[in-house]
């Protein structure tokens, strides 16, 4: 089949310790309930599946030597039910518009199905991004388990060049089974989950082994040839399934439960990407996707192993900041209605005609660069902003998103409406010139200072509650 050419991963910075949740919700638990270790990765107020996807994709494309011919976004928590999320993703990446864009959703194996699909494609490489940020009802088991993350893979089909690939996909087997271990109806916020033991024994235990066997057979391998097992399950369940499938000699991919939690659709690819960081060239990998059936893929690592702690997943996991407030987490996720005062009543209507007119500027963060004096500027305008130039119609497009910046001034504003007070914003100078007054994100009080280097990230700008819409723009954040 095809190959994985490059990989990017993104995990939101905020970590909510399970102990913090249990402390807040402990009154609901039985006496002697076990204490849960580790932390979940949770979105900042301005992060969602789409913004996570953009960051993972940027990392992937930066590592890739080829441009994608298609963009596929896999998730069960896409912000828009009807507005192509993959197209918005492609626009944020400022990719050429001549390409296929597709959202894949409604099952936790959306990403593994899309991976197999992309490897069988006929055109050039697909940018496959798996991203999920599921909501959990306060006090639920899901609240302790769910994490948020995105993984992006550049997947070349067999017909395409695969020089420098990280892995080759040897075979894929699929099994469809309407086994309802959990579900979420359209428009509902939370999953409804069934008993774990039934899922383990009657579901995974019976459905997965035949799919694994079929994939191994298609790959021309025996169970004993598999060196790494990537199973999106908690460790005990993964061990049980590996034994049942004759894979007890393979190394189980770390479940990352204590680092970020169960990241839904992103989980199989996150564990795969983590495995690929250190897998030896030529080592065989079994990858499983589970959800109303099974996707079983067999891959062979082809990259150069990195030192432990290096690679896209390790770097993404290393960037972390503890969310100390359970109620602030609830507020960010829309699970607690907080009184933000009258300033929060501001009407955030978006003029879609303006959005379309300025789409590359706002979504792609593309400004202007004067072809006469070289001055970078945002927004792009008819007349150059350089006081020494001021020529008309001399600007060409200039993507600012990938530039570095420097903080010239800032404030921590406690008066402005901000879902995570204080509102942080200030003047940022772009490397190579140009200035913009912009918001900072992933920074709390005391974390921004003059002279600090920043990079730019795609985030939710405003939420329009009146019209159930959210709009996005770029913000500055510390460049470590």
Partner 1 sequence: MPSGIADRVAIIGMGCTRFGERWDCGPDDLMVEAFNEASADAGVARDDIGAAWLGVFFDEQSTGKSALPLSMALRLPNIPVTRVENLCATGTEALRGAVYAVGAGACDVALAVGVEKLKDTGYAGLPERTKGSFEDLYLPGSTAPGAFAQLAAAYASRHGFSMDKLREAMAHVSCKSHANGARNPKAHLRNRITPEQVLAAPLISYPLGVYDCCGVSDGAACAIVTTPERARALGKKHFVTVKALQLAPSNGVEMGHQSWDGSYTLTTRLAARRAYAEAGIARPREAIDLMEVHDCFSITELVVMEDLDLSDVGRAPYDILDGRYDWDGAIPCQTDGGLKCFGHPIGASGLRMAYEIYQQLLGRAGERQLKAPALGLTHNLGGIPNRNIASVAILGLAD
Q: How far apart are CA 166 and CA 162, in angstroms?
A: 9
Count other C-beta atoms under 10 Å from residue 418's C-beta. Answer: 19
Stretch that binds partner 1, among 8-16, 43-51, 287-295, 374-382 (CB under 8 A): 374-382
Question: CB–CB of 199/329 below 8 Å?
Answer: no
Stretch that binds partner 1, among 115-123, 156-164, 283-291, 345-353 (CB under 8 A): 345-353
Stretch that binds partner 1, among 86-94, 165-173, 213-221, 435-443 (CB under 8 A): 435-443
Task: For the CB of residue 50, give the shortest distance to partner 1 in the complex, in Å.
Answer: 16
Question: CB–CB of 365/434 below 8 Å?
Answer: no
Q: How far apart are CA 425 and CA 202, in angstroms?
A: 53
User: Closer to partner 1 at the Cβ: 141 or 431?
Assistant: 431
Six token digits for residue 137: 């009802």
Q: How far apart are CA 51 and CA 149, in angstroms?
A: 10
The H or E element spanning position 193 is strand 192-193
Six token digits for residue 37: 């270790």
Site for partner 1 contains 437 (CB under 8 A): yes
Site for partner 1 contains 427 (CB under 8 A): yes
Closest CA to 267 of 278, 275, 255: 255
Stretch that binds partner 1, among 10-18, 73-81, 284-292, 358-366 (CB under 8 A): 358-366
Site for partner 1 contains 333 (CB under 8 A): no
Six token digits for residue 376: 């970078």
Site for partner 1 contains 423 (CB under 8 A): yes
Among 237, 239, 251, 435, binds partner 1 (CB under 8 A): 435
Site for partner 1 contains 433 (CB under 8 A): yes
Stretch that binds partner 1, among 5-13, 21-29, 279-287, 371-379 (CB under 8 A): 371-379
Closest CA to 167 of 306, 2, 325: 2
Six token digits for residue 9: 């991963």
Closest CA to 413 of 436, 435, 445: 445
User: Closer to partner 1 at the Cβ: 239 or 381?
Assistant: 381
Site for partner 1 contains 267 (CB under 8 A): no
User: Closer to partner 1 at the Cβ: 305 or 419?
Assistant: 419
Count other C-beta atoms under 10 Å from residue 342's C-beta. Answer: 8
Site for partner 1 contains 217 (CB under 8 A): no
Q: How far apart are CA 175 and CA 187, in angstroms?
A: 27
219-225 — which CB contacts under 8 Å span 24+ positions?
219/170, 219/171, 219/284, 219/298, 220/170, 220/171, 221/170, 221/284, 221/298, 223/247, 224/249, 225/284
Torsion of CA 469, 54, 404, 423, to 10 degrees: 30
Q: How far apart are CA 61 and CA 66, in angstroms?
A: 8
Q: How far apart are CA 176 and CA 99, in angstroms?
A: 29
Site for partner 1 contains 45 (CB under 8 A): no
Task: For the CB of residue 32, give the shortest distance to partner 1 in the complex, in Å.
Answer: 45
Site for partner 1 contains 425 (CB under 8 A): yes
Site for partner 1 contains 321 (CB under 8 A): no
User: Closer to partner 1 at the Cβ: 37 or 383?
Assistant: 383
Site for partner 1 contains 411 (CB under 8 A): yes
Task: For the CB of residue 432, give the shortest distance to partner 1 in the complex, in Å.
Answer: 9
Site for partner 1 contains 358 (CB under 8 A): yes
Stretch that binds partner 1, among 98-106, 177-185, 258-266, 342-350 (CB under 8 A): 342-350
User: Cis omega (within 30 of 0) on the bond before 416?
Assistant: no
Give the residue ranges of DSSP H helices in 245-385.
267-278, 312-318, 326-332, 352-357, 359-362
User: Closer to partner 1 at the Cβ: 31 or 341?
Assistant: 341
Stretch that binds partner 1, among 10-18, 89-97, 207-215, 415-423 (CB under 8 A): 415-423
Cα angle 328-316-296, degrees, rounded to a multiple of 5? 105
Site for partner 1 contains 451 (CB under 8 A): yes
Site for partner 1 contains 478 (CB under 8 A): no
Site for partner 1 contains 356 (CB under 8 A): no
By CB under 8 A, how many residues form the interface with partner 1? 53
Task: For the CB of residue 420, give the shortest distance to partner 1 in the complex, in Å.
Answer: 13
237-253: burial string, b at 16+ Cβ within 10 Å, e else? bbbbbbeebbbeebbbb
Site for partner 1 contains 355 (CB under 8 A): yes
User: Closer to partner 1 at the Cβ: 331 or 348?
Assistant: 348
Stretch that binds partner 1, among 99-107, 135-143, 252-260, 411-419 (CB under 8 A): 411-419
Site for partner 1 contains 387 (CB under 8 A): yes
Stretch that binds partner 1, among 144-152, 154-162, 167-175, 410-418 (CB under 8 A): 410-418
Among 273, 438, 454, 460, binds partner 1 (CB under 8 A): 438
265-279: burial string, b at 16+ Cβ within 10 Å, e else? bbbbbbbbbbbbbbb
Residues in contact with partner 1 by CB under 8 A are 341-343, 346, 348, 350-351, 354-355, 358, 361-362, 375, 377-379, 381, 385-387, 408-418, 422-423, 425-427, 429-430, 433-439, 445, 450-451, 461-462, 471, 473-474
């Amino acid at each position: 089949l095809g190959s994985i050419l490059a990989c990017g991963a993104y995990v939101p910075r905020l970590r909510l310790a399970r102990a913090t949740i249990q402390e807040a919700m402990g009154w609901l638990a039985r006496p002697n309930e076990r204490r849960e270790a580790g932390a979940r990765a949770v979105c900042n107020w301005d992060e969602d599946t789409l913004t996570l996807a953009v960051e993972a994709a940027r990392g992937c494309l930066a590592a890739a030597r080829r441009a994608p011919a298609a963009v596929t976004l896999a998730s069960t928590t896409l912000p828009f039910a009807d507005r192509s999320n993959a197209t918005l993703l492609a626009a944020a990446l400022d990719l050429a518009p001549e390409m296929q864009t597709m959202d894949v959703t409604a099952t936790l194996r959306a990403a593994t199905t899309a991976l197999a699909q992309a490897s069988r494609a006929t055109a050039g490489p697909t940018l496959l991004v798996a991203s999920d940020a599921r909501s959990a009802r306060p006090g639920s088991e899901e609240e302790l388990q769910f994490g948020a993350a995105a993984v992006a893979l550049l997947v070349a089909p067999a017909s395409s060049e695969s020089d420098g690939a990280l892995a080759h996909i040897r075979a894929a087997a699929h099994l469809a089974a309407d086994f309802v271990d959990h579900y979420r109806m359209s428009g509902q916020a939370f999953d409804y989950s069934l008993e774990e033991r039934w899922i383990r024994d009657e579901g995974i235990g019976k459905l997965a082994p035949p799919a694994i066997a079929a994939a191994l057979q298609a790959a021309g391998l025996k169970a004993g040839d598999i060196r790494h097992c990537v199973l999106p399950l908690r460790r005990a369940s993964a061990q049980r399934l590996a034994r049942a499938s004759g894979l007890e000699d393979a190394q189980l991919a770390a479940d990352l439960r204590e680092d970020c939690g169960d990241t839904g659709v992103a989980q199989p690819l996150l564990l795969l990407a983590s495995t690929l960081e250190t897998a030896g060239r030529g080592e065989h990998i079994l990858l499983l996707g589970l959800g109303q059936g099974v996707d079983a893929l067999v891959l062979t690592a082809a990259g150069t192993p990195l030192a432990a702690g290096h690679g896209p997943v390790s770097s993404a996991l290393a960037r972390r900041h503890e969310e100390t407030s359970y109620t602030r987490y609830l507020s960010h996720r829309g699970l607690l209605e907080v009184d933000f005062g009258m300033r929060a009543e501001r009407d955030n209507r978006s003029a879609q005609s303006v959005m379309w007119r300025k789409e590359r500027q706002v979504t792609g963060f593309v400004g202007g660069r004067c072809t006469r004096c070289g001055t970078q500027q945002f927004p792009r305008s008819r007349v150059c902003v350089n006081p020494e130039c001021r020529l008309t119609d001399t600007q060409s497009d200039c993507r600012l998103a990938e530039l570095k910046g420097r903080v010239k001034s800032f404030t921590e504003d406690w008066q402005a409406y901000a879902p995570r007070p204080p509102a942080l914003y200030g003047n940022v100078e772009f490397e190579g010139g140009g200035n913009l007054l912009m918001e900072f994100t992933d920074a709390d009080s005391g974390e921004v200072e003059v002279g600090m280097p920043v990079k730019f990230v795609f985030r939710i700008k405003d939420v329009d509650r009146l019209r159930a819409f959210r709009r996005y723009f770029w913000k500055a954040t510390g460049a470590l």
